[in-house]
Amino acid sequence: MPFAGIDIGSTMTKVVITDEQEKILASHIGPTGAEHRHLALKVMDETIKKAGLSFDALDFIVATGYGRINVPFADKQITEITCHARGIRFLFPTARTIIDIGGQDSKGIKLDADGKVSNFVMNDKCAAGTGRFLEVISETLGIALTDMGALALSADGFVQISNMCTVFAEHEVTSRLAEGAGVAEIVAGLHEAIASRVVNMTRHLGIEKDVVVTGGGAKNQGLVKAIEGKVGFAVFTPPEPFITGALGAALVGKDFYDRGIRPAKERKKEEVTFFS
Amino acid sequence: MTVMQAIDRLYNERGVRARELRADGHKIIGYFCCFVPDEILAAFDLVPYRIQGSQSEPIDEADALLEPMACPFARSCFNLALKDRYDFLDGFVAPHSCDTIERMYHIWHSNKPTSFDHLINVPHMLGPSSDAFFRNELKYFISRLEDFTGKKLDESKLRDAIRLYNRRRALLREVYDLRRENPPRVSGTEITKLLVAGMGIPAAEHIGLVSAFIDEVKKRPRPAADGLPRIFLWGNEIDDIAFVSLVEECGAHVVMDDLCTGSRFFWQDVSETGDPLEALARRYLCTHCPRSLKPQAGNRREDLENRFGYIREFADGWKAAGAIFYIVRYCDTCELEGPDLKEYLTDLKLPVLMIEDDYSTSTIGQLRTRIQAFLEMIM
């Protein structure tokens, strides 16, 4: 019995299909972006194809992420907070704190001993502490986003960046460069600033072991190291941090199914429309 | 016109009834917050009008005169005044509820003076001397109204007004009692409209509307159990349905509140016996706005109980499964009271979601994920 989770984030759409044994059958990632909205259905189709299934074979489809509201082919929409918790707990049964660094927001999630969400914090109104912050600055510096983490790790110390406002931080970086600071040290400073922001936000919940860092930010080793520096111990990252939300969504769908809940309305294989 | 249509009209066309009354020769007095006794204005045959802002209209003209880091509710009200949306007011009364409103009064007075501008000094610390102090301030307010209207206060009319407003309070509490049902037959969205509709009309008219509303709700069939969580709201000004609708749309029933646009302005009666001014002073000073501070009582736990015990009764009585704090940004008193209240409610095992927002319907959609995740968490 296959279950699908589709996580439509601000920059990427992720789909995971699992079976009733909670085994991952297939996963696929595609871009979201303003010009790629219609691709959500395509990512879904690709994953179904990889799993060797048909659309109608899916027993439950859960949509999550920022684009979850109007997914015509989903049976339920559940927030990424609940889905990340389910996905991370599946991968790390001892996880109690999750730090999710996405493209446009970041979140701290606290789990109780049973893996249920007990509290969360969210930064969803500014780019500070998100992937977008690094993306903007990487453009300013002319460095590929994927090289930023390694560059930070190669630095000899770091330059303090005090502005967390992305616009002001851009100015600050430019003036630090003008003062002669090294690029690697500046990049390391930016990673310190983001780590500080997300860790302090998560401290409102009380940081408890084990800590898992997920979302696109977990792909950046420089950022993960900086977070470890702030919390004072080693954190875990999933093998594929992009798909934990979609994985959680598929598992939440399976949970619904196990509780006897069945798709309530007809699925429409149509493009996803966004609410904002 | 059905009762819901009448409510919708007053809710959508703010000030429509005040304009009609003014055309008939009545004088309309606008005021801020819940510290200005309507009864005193009504005793002078003046029509009290509770000033609101507009969450759907961007603040533009006011930004030329005010800094954007001031309370967006106050800025929005002033913005509407600058755009002559409050040109039907014959007078303008501000209580010193918070520093923003107090300063706002002076800025309003300099830019948009009316023929009766007045600031009421309201003590912040509630102690043995505050009732007497506030009673004196109300006496001064009355003497200024006597000068403005050219007539002496008629004490029997003041007593009548107290009885009239108590009647309205009793009816509104009856509406809130209907919210105890599970699931309730009345939504938080409808309640918000009913309360806002009443802020710009005479009490006698609101009484008619509220009674008709109660009759209408009682005729509705009982809905089947839906298992949706029941939410208690705490915060300041919610004079637009956008936020409450969003919470209910995400799958919840908003069943109780402690808001200055909600229970705070009508929950307690004014005593109908003894000196009416003393009764008014006592009643209005007890308004649960976080701008007022009760003196420290006992240890930490006892102090929190002394300050927030009434909220525990609200949450228990209306069987809330979670509390949402909706704070209009830059409201220092709410933001500083929030953590204490959160601690108190968390100890009572009531989950809390604290939201700070911009007093703008255009940013409310961004709160959807947080609200929905909170509801998933408490389910």
| List of E strands, B251-367 | 253-258, 322-328, 352-357
Lowest average pLDDT, out of A137-141, B36-40, B161-165, goes to: A137-141
CATH, residue B9: 3.40.50.11890
Residue B66 lies in a domain: yes
Nearest CA in chain B to A111: B377
Tell me which amino acid residue A229 is.
G
Residue A125 lies in a domain: yes
Sign of CA dihedral B56, B62, B66, B67: positive
Which residues of chain A have a CB within 8 Å of the CB of B372?
Answer: 79
Residue B282 lies in a domain: no
The DSSP code for A236 is: B
Which residues of chain B have a CB within 8 Å of the CB of A78?
Answer: 376
Residue whose C-alpha is closest to residue A251's, from A64, A109, A68: A64
| Mutant choice from A76, A77, A79, A117 vs B, greatest count of B C-beta within 10 A | A79
pLDDT, residue A12, reads: 87
* pLDDT over 90, % of chain A: 65
Q: Are residues A31 and A146 in the same domain?
A: no
* pLDDT above 90: residue A103: no
What DSSP letter does each residue of B239-306 carry, written as one string?
A: -SSHHHHHHHHTT-EEEEEE-TTTGGGTSSPPPSSS-HHHHHHHHHHT---TTSBPPP-SSHHHHHHH
* pLDDT above 80: residue A275: no
Average pLDDT over chain A, rounded to whole? 90
Residue B85 lies in a domain: yes
Strand partners, A120: A109
Average pLDDT over residues A35-47: 81
Q: What band does B66 get if pLDDT is binned at 50, 70 and 90?
A: confident
Q: In this complex, is the C-beta atom of B368 within 8 Å of any C-beta atom belonging to chain A? A: yes
* pLDDT above 80: residue A273: no
| Mutant choice from A70, A81, A104, A110 vs B, greatest count of B C-beta within 10 A | A81
Q: Are residues A97 and A52 in the same domain?
A: no
Range of the domain at A173: 93-237
**Local structure of A267: helix, strand or coil:** coil
pLDDT, residue B158, reads: 98
Average pLDDT over chain B, rounded to whole? 95
The shortest CB-CB distance from B370 to any of A82, A116, A122 is to: A122
User: How far apart (Å, rounded) are the C-alpha atoms in residues B270 and B164?
Assistant: 11
Q: Are residues A11 and A126 in the same domain?
A: no
Residue A275 lies in a domain: no
Residue B137 lies in a domain: yes
Residue B61 lies in a domain: yes
User: How far apart (Å, rounded) are the C-alpha atoms in residues A8 and A15?
Assistant: 9
Q: Are residues A10 and A99 in the same domain?
A: no
**pLDDT tens by residue, B221-256:** 999 999 999 999 999 999 999 999 999 999 999 999
Residue A268 lies in a domain: no
* pLDDT above 80: residue B288: yes
Number of helices (H), then strands (E), in chain B: 15, 8
Q: Are residues A104 and A228 in the same domain?
A: yes
* pLDDT above 90: residue A9: no
pLDDT, residue A33, reads: 65
What are φ and ψ of residue A49, in 5° steps?
Answer: -65, -45
Q: Are residues A62 and A179 in the same domain?
A: no
pLDDT, residue B203, reads: 97
Alpha-carbon torsion, ordered A81, A107, B337, B31, to 10 deg: -80
pLDDT, residue A35, reads: 60
* pLDDT over 90, % of chain B: 92
**pLDDT tens by residue, A54-72:** 999 999 999 999 889 878 8
B376:A276 CB<8 A: no
Angle, in degrees to the nearest 10, between helices A244-258 and A80-91? 90
| List of E strands, A66-169 | 76-77, 97-101, 106-111, 117-123
The DSSP code for B115 is: S
Residue whose C-alpha is closest to residue B124's, from B96, B104, B103, B94: B96
Which residues of chain A have a CB within 8 Å of the CB of B342?
Answer: none
Residue B225 lies in a domain: no
Residue B309 lies in a domain: no
Q: Are residues A137 and A219 in the same domain?
A: yes
Cβ atoms A174, A200 nearer than 8 A: no
pLDDT, residue A276, reads: 43
Q: Are residues A134 and A229 in the same domain?
A: yes
B365:A275 CB<8 A: yes
Residue A55 lies in a domain: yes
CATH, residue A69: 3.30.420.40
Q: Are residues A185 and A75 in the same domain?
A: no
**pLDDT tens by residue, B130-167:** 999 999 999 999 999 999 999 999 999 999 999 999 99
What are φ and ψ of residue B92, in 5° steps?
Answer: -140, 120
Greater pLDDT, A14 or A177:
A14
Q: Are residues A233 and A247 in the same domain?
A: no
pLDDT, residue A242, reads: 93
**pLDDT tens by residue, B326-366:** 999 999 999 999 999 999 999 999 999 999 988 988 877 77
User: Structurally, how many domains does chain A consist of?
Assistant: 2
User: How far apart (Å, rounded) are the C-alpha atoms in residues A223 and A220?
Assistant: 5
Range of the domain at B34: 3-156
State the residue for tokens 């909220």: B311
CA distance B329 to chain A (A): 13
Residue B294 lies in a domain: no
Q: Are residues A118 and A187 in the same domain?
A: yes
Residue A88 lies in a domain: no
ipTM of the complex: 0.88
Question: How many residues are recorded in chain A?
Answer: 276
Residue whose C-alpha is closest to residue B98's, from B334, B358, B258: B334
B273, with CB counted inside 10 A (0-12, 13-18, 19+), is exposed
Nearest CA in chain B to A122: B370
Q: Are residues A135 and A213 in the same domain?
A: yes
